[in-house]
Chain A
Amino acid sequence: MSITVSNVSKSFGDFHALKGIDLEVPSGELVALLGPSGCGKTTLLRIIAGLETPDTGNILFNGEEATNRHVRDRQVGFVFQHYALFRHMTVFDNIAFGLTVRPKKTRPSKKEIREKVHTLLKLIQVEQMADRYPAQLSGGQRQRVALARALAVEPQVLLLDEPFGALDAKVRLELRRWLRRLHDEIHVTSVFVTHDQEEALEVADRIVVMNQGKIEQQGTPSEVYDRPATPFVFDFLGNVNLFQGRVHEGTAKMGGLVVETPEHAGTRNAPAVGYVRSHDIEIERIPFDTASLAAQVHGVVTVGPLVRVDLKLPGNVEGIEVDLSRDVADRLDLKVGELVYARPRKVRVFTDDYVI
């Protein structure tokens, strides 16, 4: 089932959580709502679910008006960050709940319910735990049970609110891959909310980046990562270094960094900021060409597979961060205090009408 969000706004007192959101989720897609906390992503999800009502605007399911439809009748599965399992019920009863509350006419028989629940238990890989209570499960297991409970009613739409937010790193990684595989199997239209860019990039078919109640950009993971539409998106997805400067008729000069920016050909002497991802910078001891910037090594930290190098540049107060792979770092064998040359491979220049 496709979801259409049209011109939805919502305020809580003086706080404008959503400002005229338009969004289209095609049937069968897995979409991530990505943004910092307070950007309105959870509010949008809850409005789609019917747990909140929008102040203005409409929600359409399959093109049909659903703004005033009650949660009960929307056929949405909702997964909460903190699981919201029924503590006094066993895993089995939790999953069966949605089926057992149906009116007599449409309620499946006891036997059908049992079969259905066991199929789901197999799907979430906790078959032997049917008789346990939620308190006896690990976080990852609880979240899978919550997902199975939502799926039991065969929802048209699956909505997940920071589903992996309360789990530890390893389980989170495991579970999000599992969710991706599950989605490839059952293809139910899904929207999940996250503030973790890596999670969104890995799991989603499409990412909707939100900030301050508005959508900044939407697109496939590679589109938003490789071609960020705004400085905010650039900054939010991955580590980024900023170079302050000016742009004049298609040439940006930022400190010692000079970049051709044909898209700003019409701009005359305006302040500009160059954005460079930390893995898009090379470090050498001898300058490659005139684009290389002299810098001083300020710190070297090994972060798992990467080596993070802090560089001080003349005229750049904040300094820049460079991520090198281990073998490159080993070859260079950088020492703190040493003078090197840095060369940005990819620079994206935004003029100052965007402000983060």
Chain B
Amino acid sequence: MKAIGKKQSVLPGFGPSLGYTVFYLSFVVLIPLSALVFKTASLSWSEFLAAVTAPRVLASYRVTFGASLLAAAVNGIFGVLVAWVLVRYRFPGKKLIDALVDLPFALPTAVAGITLSSVYAANGWVGRYLEPRGVKVAFTPLGILVAMIFIGLPFVVRTVQPVLEELDHEIEEAASCLGANRWQTFHRILFPTMLPAILTGFALAFARAVGEYGSIIFIAGNMPMVSEITPLLIITKLEQYDYAGATAIASVMLLASFLLLLAINLLQKWSRRHAEQ
């Protein structure tokens, strides 16, 4: 680091900008997170274990992480499809659809939640056709999944889109000249090229789903043990002035998310091993 600082650089101000970066990250990210850990530390080990492994809490982990993974996977498939269509084809209204993809980013989550639950409720536009067929979406874990898919979609589309746009048409022509059919070209050439971006999109969609609160609580039904997500449980604990319990659960979520993101990052690194050096 010293060497970089000492060398005459075309971009001056390495020292101050690094200092600023570290300060900013500490202020915005690290301090709140460490407060979380300190607050949790006020519990004894056995109290901590009891708080984070209560059956109701365990059930909420299952719902949150399970639904998040599933939602991210669904987005991983359909988000790629949307990106593919937006990049590869020209059709009227393409710009509009392209803009619509960003809507879940911009919409206040509570609005999304209320809208989704009214659409999927027994008397809603979609719900009235699903419910007679025995598919209950609103106020069930399925509703959680729907909300998570809704908010996660742009992440996959927006990470895969630029990669697809950059993809050289000649690569496909080369594969075709070598005798590969469309399917072989897709699964041996195109898919591996997109995979790092898909994984990034998956990770982002997953992280967003795990942390989502606003849109889910409206559609989830929030039944303990069945459709109660962990963030809601944390709020419940806070409302009961159980700050230590809330932070204990929060720190478990933090750890789990961190580990999952780490795993996805490693996977990503592996999938782009060819770009190294």
Closest chain A residue to B178 by CB distance? A98
Assess A82 versus B170: contact at CB under 8 Å? Given A88-B193, A101-B178, A101-B179: yes
- Assess whether A247 is interfacial by the CB under 8 Å rule: no
Q: Is the CB of B173 within 8 A of A84?
A: yes
Provide the bound-state CA to CA distance between A88 and B195, in Å: 10
Closest chain A residue to B174 by CB distance? A84
- Assess whether A76 is interfacial by the CB under 8 Å rule: yes
- Assess whether A59 is interfacial by the CB under 8 Å rule: no
Size of the B side of the interface (Cβ < 8 Å), in residues, is 22
Provide the bound-state CA to CA distance between A149 and B175, in Å: 10
Interface residues of A in 208-266 (CB under 8 A from B): none
- Assess whether B277 is interfacial by the CB under 8 Å rule: yes
Q: How far is the CB of B130 from chain A (nearest CB, A)?
A: 41
- Assess whether B168 is interfacial by the CB under 8 Å rule: yes
- Assess whether A192 is interfacial by the CB under 8 Å rule: no
Max count, chain B CB within 10 A of own CB: residue among A76, A80, A134 = A80
- Assess whether B35 is interfacial by the CB under 8 Å rule: no
Closest chain A residue to B191 by CB distance? A88
Interface of B is mostly: helix
Provide the bound-state CA to CA distance between A76 and B177, in Å: 6
Q: Which of B2-10, B101-109, B181-189 contacts A (4 or more CB under 8 A)?
A: B181-189
Q: Is the CB of B274 within 8 A of A101?
A: no
Quick one: which of A72, A77, A85 contacts B181, CB cutoff 8 A? Answer: A72
Give A129-165 as 1s and 0s: 1 = Cβ < 8 Å from B's Cβ atoms: 0000111100000000010011011000000000000
Q: Is the CB of A88 within 8 A of B274?
A: yes
Provide the bound-state CA to CA distance between A90 and B192, in Å: 13
- Assess whether A86 is interfacial by the CB under 8 Å rule: yes
Provide the bound-state CA to CA distance between A55 and B23, in Å: 65
Quick one: which of B174, B177, B188, B274 contacts A133, CB cutoff 8 A? Answer: B274
- Assess whether B176 is interfacial by the CB under 8 Å rule: yes
Provide the bound-state CA to CA distance between A49 and B174, in Å: 11
In the complex, chain A residues whose CB is within 8 Å of the CB of B176: 51, 71-72
In the complex, chain A residues whose CB is within 8 Å of the CB of B188: 97, 101
Q: How far is the CB of A138 from chain B (nearest CB, A)?
A: 13
Q: How far is the CB of A206 from chain B (nearest CB, A)?
A: 23
Give B73-117 as 1s and 0s: 1 = Cβ < 8 Å from A's Cβ atoms: 000000000000000000000000000000000000000000000
Q: Is the CB of A102 within 8 A of B177?
A: no
A-B contact pairs, 13 of them (CB 8 A): A51-B176, A51-B177, A72-B179, A76-B177, A80-B170, A86-B174, A87-B193, A97-B180, A97-B188, A101-B181, A101-B184, A135-B274, A149-B174
Interface residues of A (CB under 8 A from B): 49, 51, 71-72, 76-78, 80, 82, 84-90, 97-98, 101-102, 133-136, 146, 149-150, 152-153
- For the complex of A and B, the 10 pairs showing the least CB-CB separation, nearest first, are A98-B178, A84-B170, A133-B274, A84-B174, A101-B180, A78-B177, A88-B192, A88-B274, A71-B176, A101-B184
